[in-house]
Amino acid sequence: MVEALIQKAAILHEALPYIRRFHGRTFVVKYGGHAMVDPALRDSFARDITLMKYVGLNPVVVHGGGPQIDELLVRMGSRSERVEGLRITDDNTMEVVEMVLGGSVNQQIVSLICKNGGRAVGLTGKDDGFLRAAKVERMKTRTGVEVDPGRVGEVREVRVDVIRRLVEGGFIPVISPVAVDDEGGALNVNADTVAGAVAGALKAEKLVLMTDIEGIRGPSGEIESSLTATTIESYIADGVIEGGMIPKVRCGLDALGDGVAKVHVIDGRRRHACLLEIFTDHGIGTEIKP
C-alpha cells in the first residue's frame, strides 16, 4: 500500500514541471468521437478539464455532435439528405443541428463540468456574434462531384473578447460549432475547423484534437510521437496521411500558422487522455510542431 502511495506521489512530481510551465496558458480542446458517447469517458473528460482549470491552466472546449444529430433526426421521423456520404444541411436540418449542438450536447458538457466542481458556460457563434462564417457554396464529395451543401459555413473571423472575459472570470467556455453569417443566420461548421480557428485567434499554447485513433501513423505504420509541420505536408503529399485525417491535420497546421505553439492528436477513447498527453514525459498521441 505504501509503495502504491509513493507511485502516486511520483506521478505528481512528473506533472509538476508541466503545471509550472503551462500555468495561465490557454489550451483549446476539441472534444468529439467515442469520448462523447461512452458515459464513463464523458465523466472522465469533465473531471480532467476541471482539474486542468484548478491547477492553473485555461481550457477552452470545442465540441462536435454528428451522431447525436443523426439520432435526433431519426427520432423526429426526419432524415438528412446525403450525397455520397456528405450531409446536406437544409433549413430544417439546420434547426436540428442548433437544437443538438447549441442545446442538448452543449448543456450536457456544461452540466458535467459543473457537477465535477468546475464553472462552465456554453456558447454558440451567435453569442456576441463571436464566430463569423460565410456559406460554403460548393463542396466536393469523395468522388469529386460538386454539390451545394446547404447551410454549411467556413470560418471567417473569431472575435475572442467574450471567450477571454469568461476565462479571466474563472469559467471554462464550452463552444458549439454553430457560426453566424452576416445576416445573422446560423451555419453548421466542422468542429475541428472551429477548434483550430479559436486556438489560432487566442494564440493558444496547445490545440488538442481528441479522435478515435491512437495518433498519426508514419510510413512504417507505427504511431509517430512527434512530427513537424513540414513532415506532415510530405506525408499528405505521399499518401501516408489520407482520407478523414487530412482535414484534421490541416486545421492543426492552420492553427500553428496562426501562432499556436503545438497541436496534439490523441486517442479520446482512452481515459484521462488529455492529462496523459499534457502532464507526462512521453504523452500518448502525436504532437505536431511548427
pLDDT 10s digits, 46-78: 999 999 999 999 999 999 998 888 888 888 887
Which of 233, 235, 228, 237 minimizes the C-alpha distance to 263?
228
Phi, psi of 81, deg, nearest 5: -65, 135
Q: Is residue 201 part of a domain?
A: yes
Q: Is residue 237 part of a domain?
A: yes
> Residue 114 pLDDT more than 90?
yes
Which of 59, 62, 48 minimizes the C-alpha distance to 25?
59
Q: Is residue 128 part of a domain?
A: yes
pTM of the model: 0.93
pLDDT of 85: 58
The rounded Cα 82 to chain-centroid distance in angstroms is 24
Q: Is residue 15 part of a domain?
A: no
Quote the domain boundaries for residue 227.
Answer: 23-285
In contact, 109 and 63? CB cutoff 8 Å? yes
The CATH number of whichever domain residue 138 belongs to comes to 3.40.1160.10
Q: Is residue 10 part of a domain?
A: no
Which of 9, 22, 87, 6 minimizes the C-alpha distance to 264?
22
- CB burial readout 6-20, b (16+ within 10 A) else e: eeeeeeeeebeebee
Q: Dihedral of the CA atoms 23, 111, 37, 77 (nearest 10)?
A: -140
pLDDT 10s digits, 118-166: 999 999 999 999 999 999 998 877 777 788 889 999 999 999 999 999 9
Q: Is residue 198 part of a domain?
A: yes
What's the structural domain count of the chain? 1
Q: Is residue 31 part of a domain?
A: yes
> Residue 44 pLDDT more than 80?
yes
| Cell numbers given for 22 | 503551462
Q: Where are the beta strands (DSSP E) in 2-141?
A: 26-31, 58-63, 82-83, 86-87, 120-123, 131-135, 139-140
Q: Is residue 6 part of a domain?
A: no
Measured distance between the N- and C-terminal CA atoms of the chain, rounded to whole angstroms: 44
| Cell numbers given for 109 | 458538457
Integer Cα distance of 80 and 181 in angstroms: 22
pLDDT 10s digits, 210-259: 999 999 999 999 999 999 999 999 999 999 998 878 888 999 999 999 99
pLDDT of 2: 82
Whose grid coordinates read 450525397? 83
> Residue 84 pLDDT more than 60?
no
